[in-house]
Structure 1
Amino acid sequence: MSKKLLIREIFEKGRKDSGKDSKSGIALYLSLYFYDEWKFEISERTFVRYYDAFLIDDEDKNIDTQVLDKMSQYLEFKDFKDFCKTETFTKINQDSSRTSVSVRIDDEDDPERKHPNITVNITTNPILKLQEFFAKQSGFGVIGLLIFGGFFTNNYFKKEENPAVKFAEVKNDELKTETPAKEIITWKENEITPRDQDVKEEPPKEEKLQCMFWDGKEYIPAHCSDTENGLIALDRKLVDNFKKITTPDTITSIKNVWYSKHQNVVEFFTADGVNPENGKELHELSQHMLDKYIKRE
């Protein structure tokens, strides 16, 4: 259940952050965000597979621990273990407002603490009387008992003198809410779907190689999102035909050979253009240059 909830939450947050509504659009945004923010690679296709497995097929797939931790960090949790400490219950009211109850149980060992810390965050719009809230939200019966039990059990859960975060306060039978430091939002699966239900979503396509870089000998195609220095737009003609001749003594003819001369250094290439390393324009190899720098006559 925790992994399924995690996938729901990152897609909902991704929908809000990206402004995208389609599954593949959100998956692409998440993939780019994870790489740009942490240099952590999770492909768009992998996000889509997680979505389909957990939220459509209701399967439980294995996910690497590092991936779970990084997804949890996207939701502003320390790691997946920290995420699992919080349970959220959400209900859509008749007036389209949303009421959410989040319960966090901190059961870490502490020799001076007799009981675990339980933090309850209740968010509703508009503000309701406490009695009306539990009377109308029949789905929160168990949570209601938990909250009232925490408030009225004699000294069972002691209030900390200086709480780091104040989530909810009850005063004069009214429920007032403050912005929580961490928030989990539960959403319905049909929220992330194309608006036009008659249009079938195309499967995600592999990102095409649209850039290239010079590796000292030839141009290598690359993804434009890679962090290689000197990325330029892909030119298939240069990739296929432009090479540096690293063994000039093998040149026996001036045909199909170009050269550049810079600071008394002569370099040879298999096609016309510019020297990628110094930007100097290339010239066709002449018989004079062949004799002087290769045959050395």
Structure 2
Amino acid sequence: MFTKKQLVEEVFDKAKRESGKSTKNGLSEYLVITLEEKVSLSISERTLIRYYDTYVINSTKKNEIEIDSNTLDKLSQYLSYRCFEHFVNPNEFVLDGVEAANVHRPIGVYQDLTKVVEGGLHINIHNMIRLPDFIKNNKGMSLGMMGVLIASGSFAHFNGSFQKKDHMYWNGVEYRLTAAQDRNPKHAVIPLDTVQFKYFKKITRPDTLDLDNGLNKVWYSKYRNKVEFFTMDGTNPDNHKELKPVSEGILEKYAGKKTTEK
């Protein structure tokens, strides 16, 4: 129970940081979309609210809400762990035959090399690294130096295995972290802006906006009669149009529950 409670609490805490929402309903709405996009987890808002009631606010119901193993793994992946077992025992998890020893939260061993997170930098080992090959190809380097490179977060590019993720690209909803060497033709790679990376997102559910949560808190762009809403000021990455703060008229015409009734 305690480990599941910790997992659910950390998932909702991360959603709160990312979305700026504070209610369980708002956080659950955000997670429905985010979990589907980031870790391919299809889950209902109602189920997430039940998890919140049971594990976050410590519901006293006798029957605990069960969470299946796949969901536990996906929620752990949202927090950048390989699976639930990795979340439970980050110090003992074996990654491609390499034991992740003497590693403690918030520094973990994850799938990607680097990840920008709250409270600092997580040092990660890419799951394609093979230490025997690395040692063979870098015979002149001492084991101590290899350890320093990994532990200190020095991301030298050895035979293409390491890439520093200090750039980002827009995926249509938010900015995603990537490396300068990203050659995906669909990615318009730009230098990492930590503020935009963390706070700038498209609002995919304009029907949830109203005067209370939208006015003076949301920006919009109108291009070819299409209105899109964003969480902070700037330019629309899709059409490079300057964003404007929403007005009562814009919210009443293009947002709110009536947008789902058209």
- TM interval, shorter chain, is 0.3 to 0.5
Q: TM-score, normalised by structure 2?
A: 0.37
- Structure showing greater relative contact order (alpha-carbon pairs closer than 8 Å, 6 or more residues apart): 1
- Which of the two has greater strand per residue? 1
Q: TM-score, normalised by structure 1?
A: 0.33
Rg larger for: 1
